[in-house]
Amino acid sequence: MSQTKIVNSTCGLCAVGCGILVHVRDNKVLKIEGNLDNPLNQGKLCPMGSASLEYLYHPDRLKEPLKKKGKRGGGKWEKISWDEALETIASKLKKIKTQFGPEAVAFIHGAAKGLQDSYLTRFATAFGSPNVGWQGHVCFVPRVIASQFTYGFYAVPDYDYPPSCIIIWGKNMSETLHHAYEKAIKAVQKGSRLIVIDPRQIDLAKKSDVWMQIRPGSDLALALGMINVIIEESLFDRDFVETWTTGFALLKDCVKHYSPEKVEGITWVPATKIRESARLYATSKPAVIQWGNAIDHGINSFQSARAICILRAITGNIGVPGGEIQPISTPLHGRRSPELELWEKMPSDSLNKSLNKNLNLMPIIKYVQPQSIIKSIIDQDPYAIHAAYIQGANPLLSYSNAQKAYEALTKLSFLAVADMFMTPTAAMADIVLPVASYLEFDSIVTSPYSYPITSIQQKVVRTNQCLSDYEIMTGLAKKIGLGDSFWEKEEECLDFCLKPAGLSFEEFRKIGILPGQKGYRRHEKNKFLTPSGKVELSSNRLLEWGFDSIPEYKEPPDTPYSESNLPEKYPLILTTWKHRPYRHSGGRQIASLREMQPEPIVWINPATAAKHGIENKDWIYIETKRGRILQKALLTQDIGLRVIGVAYGWWFPETAPQNLYDWDKANINILTSHPPPLVQKWGHPIFVVSGVEYSKKNIIDVRNLSIKVPLKSLQSLYHFSSSYDIY
């Protein structure tokens, strides 16, 4: 028997990029452990990373290309060769391009995965379609663009100094960013004061000096209220504001309307706590704000992020040790780079046919919204999308108003899906392609959230007939006649990505990690990367484009304050969050993860539950104006009386494909709305998406209907067994 080889690599099950060591023997992965030498995670792995072998060797993984038999969604398939699969897709796409133009094909990817997202975009732009769908509008991108518009870069907390005060805003770090959580805990142990802003009492809230139990979706009002206190009480950093900001007078005038008393009525946070938190944050130097995905949701997403950036700036916490610093990563032609995605090579007449074109969006936005794609398919407005290629996405679970997504997928003349597992969306496809796991292809991983590090991902094994997304895109490009747009081998593409760093991928294999720098006070030498060279508290660019130059709170739709007739029938506000075992809709077939959370759980305050006759562990219906779903009640004091927390991303891979794995039984997006993606007066229309997957805006009626749904009939849904060993 050969010896065990240990390969330095990076986990690819989410975008964080934790370092791992992969133990391989006889072309089989025996064990995966965290890499102690990786400065990002320092040897720690989350449950998903620890379950990597369950993903890799799962008996239900897609193993070869499949072609549907019979009607779409009927659950019947025949195995075909890769050549037939790619030839079928190529033939369909070429035919539609000839008949209707390349814009009639939509290319869709899901949550950020890595370079493979840009491989799909590169294929789409080479093909000539400007309609590349993503989920960035509700995940990370609002904060990135808001940061760029305010001070020119995405700032990250410097926990190592450590900060004197930490605000955790809409981020459950222990379950979603474990490496930063460890640093935050160490800082608190050294004396950092802690403020937590969250509708529920997460574990950090129990350790905090101040917990602000905010009404979901009112984050912008709270930020403006804190700015009001800091300015009115002259707690801002006068030297920094006078030297390094523009628009302070306009900001001061705007926030006069957001007194803590007024903000209390909007946010449900007592005015005394708003003042206490603002004073603590402004007078504790240095200080950081660790924000999360909750900021990205709803109509105020971009401006909420802008307001938090302004908080950082006026308190003088930008660029200082222990504050918000500018990370400096290794130069790459990396994910989302124009060199890799080829947007600039698309003819202007093709770009002008984007589904975004008539929506008056911010000019820098290239990717199209899910709602635009769905509307185009169903209503043929502004024209019809006839085909879609979906890579690693599950729109039946992740798109708002999932019934509309279902209707759209049934109307497509052709649908191809590439994924590791059969999902509800893949079950509706004409062709399904089996994709390699992150252990089965080489790549380059950059961590976007905290420590600036570039890490290697290495192919250690290849199972069945699974191919990487790059191999699929290259093969499809050759079939269509676009082979010149891709490199012959994936490693040649990675050489191109590393060219700015002066490395080949083979040389990178020997290094493994390219650490970046923290970048303290870079503005003092290079100014801020904005048109004015300063922090722009008021943005002339936004004003010129017709948007609010300074954040202004807008009440979301479907709330007691925007629709006065709602509370009588729908008295509660719905919110949701990521649960530790899962990444969005993925992982429900992974035994160790499903054991951690086997059922879709809805959090309810015991007093609220009592009013509706609900007991702990009852199966209940949750209802909005758009529909209802079934989840299991968890009674807890950790959530407020007027809010419930609903699990998202739920489907049941143990059930039948002809029923699309019960995709609509517990799916939160049955409840969410499907508005147009543009409401110009709300300032940043690219993110104006009410009721998306993670929405915090929907009023619901909770009723105990467990008698009508016997518990016994549901228990069989949650039986799992594993037919392989984890070494």
Q: For 624-648, how does the pLDDT look when each residue is reduced to its tens digit (9 = 90+)?
A: 888 999 999 999 999 999 999 999 9
Of 424-428, 467-471, 555-559, 711-715, which range is least confident?
A: 711-715
What pLDDT sits at residue 100?
Answer: 98
The pairing of strands 572-575 and 535-536 is unpaired
583 within 8 A of 13, measured Cβ to Cβ: yes
The CATH number of whichever domain residue 114 belongs to comes to 3.40.50.740
Other CB atoms within a 10 A radius of the CB of residue 284 amount to 18
Judge if 635 and 593 occupy the same domain.
yes
pTM listed for this prediction: 0.92
CA distance 156 to 326: 7
Domain boundary among 486, 518, 550: 486
Report which of 376, 405, 333, 441 is spatially closest to residue 135, judged by C-alpha positions. 405
Has residue 34 been placed in a domain? no
Residue 149 lies in a domain: no
Domain match, 359 and 319 both: no
| 600 and 657 together in one domain | yes
Same domain, yes or no, for 354 and 286?
no
* Among candidate residues 273, 298, 325, the one where a domain is terminated: 325
Contact call for residues 212 and 272 (beta carbons, < 8 A):
no
Q: Are 662 and 716 in contact (CB under 8 A)?
A: no
CATH number for 599: 2.40.40.20
Calculate helix-pair angle for 301-314, 141-151, nearest 10 degrees: 40
Between CA 315 and CA 227 the distance in angstroms is: 10
Is residue 436 scored above 80 in pLDDT? yes
> Is there a domain that residue 555 lies in?
no
Are residues 423 and 394 in contact, defined by beta-carbon separation less than 8 angstroms? yes
407 and 299, same structural domain? Answer: no
**Angle, nearest 10°, between helix axes 219-232 and 301-314?**
20
Are 315 and 350 contained in the same domain?
no
C-alpha dihedral (172, 174, 180, 185), degrees to nearest 10: 110
**For 66, how many CA atoms within 13 A lie in the half-sphere containing its CB?**
26
Q: Which amino acid is at 519?
A: G
**Residue 727: C-alpha distances to residues 24, 28, 53, 283, 458 (Å):** 11, 10, 9, 52, 20
**In 3-state terms, what secondary structure has residue 716?**
helix
Q: Would you give the end-to-end CA distance of the chain in angstroms? A: 17
Contact 517, 327 (CB under 8 A): yes
- Asked, for residue 570, whether it belongs to a domain, the answer is yes
pLDDT classification of 559: cutoffs 50, 70, 90: confident
pLDDT (mean) for 490-505: 98
Residue 15 belongs to a domain: no
Please tell me the distance from the alpha carbon of residue 68 to that of residue 82, in angstroms, as a whole number: 15
* Cβ within 8 Å of residue 556, ≥6 positions away: 217, 298, 299, 300, 562, 690, 697
113 is a domain residue: yes
- pLDDT tens by residue, 299-356: 899 999 999 999 999 999 999 999 999 988 899 999 889 999 999 888 889 999 999 8
DSSP SS3 for 387: strand
505 C-beta neighbours (distance < 10 Å), count? 20
CA distances from 339 to 121, 336, 342, 344 (A): 11, 9, 6, 9
Q: Which of 392, 420, 193, 191 is nearest to 288 (CA)?
A: 193
Tell me, yes or no, whether 514 lies in a domain: no
Distance CA 179, CA 593 (A): 20
The pair of structure tokens assigned to 32 is 């995966």
Domain annotation covers residue 289:
yes
Q: How many CB atoms within 10 Å of residue 633?
A: 23
Residue span of the structural domain in which 587 resides: 566-672+697-718
CA 223/CA 439 separation, integer angstroms: 42
Residue 590 identity:
I
Q: What percent of the chain has pLDDT over 70?
A: 92
When divided into structural domains, the chain yields a total of 3
Residues 359 and 482 in one domain: yes
* Residue 285, pLDDT score: 95
Asked if 161 and 286 touch (Cβ cutoff 8 Å), the reply is yes
Phi, psi of 413 (to 5 degrees): -80, -20
pLDDT at site 451: 79
| Whole-number Å distance between alpha carbons of 677 and 675 | 6
Do 588 and 711 belong to one domain? yes
578 has pLDDT over 60: yes
| 605 shares its domain with 706 | yes
Cis ω on the peptide bond leading into residue 327 (within 30° of 0)? no
Out of 325, 360, 394, pick the residue that ends a domain.
Answer: 325
Tell me: do 599 and 468 sit in the same domain.
no
**Of the given ranges (241-255, 432-446, 558-572), which has the lowest mean pLDDT?**
558-572
Q: Residue 216 maps to which CATH number?
A: 3.40.228.10
Place of tokens 């589904």: 355
Backbone angles phi, psi at 678, to 5 degrees: -135, 120
C-alpha–C-alpha distance, residues 172 and 290, integer Å: 10
Select from 19, 28, 30, 24 the least CA-distant residue to 6.
24
The arithmetic mean of pLDDT across residues 384-393, rounded, is 97
> Looking at residue 568, what is its pLDDT?
78
Per residue in 147-203, pLDDT (tens digit) is 999 999 999 999 988 999 999 999 999 998 988 999 999 999 999 999 999 999 999
The model's confidence at residue 598, banded by pLDDT at 50, 70 and 90, is very high
Cα–Cα distance measured from residue 253 to residue 226, given in angstroms and rounded to the nearest whole number: 14
Other CB atoms closer than 10 Å to residue 451's CB: what's the count?
Answer: 21
Q: Using CB atoms within 10 Å of the CB of residue 606, give its burial: 0 to 12 exposed, 13 to 18 middle, 19+ buried.
A: middle
pLDDT at 699: 37
> 302 and 418 in one domain?
no
**Same domain as 162, residue 298:** yes
pLDDT band at residue 704 under the 50/70/90 scheme: very low
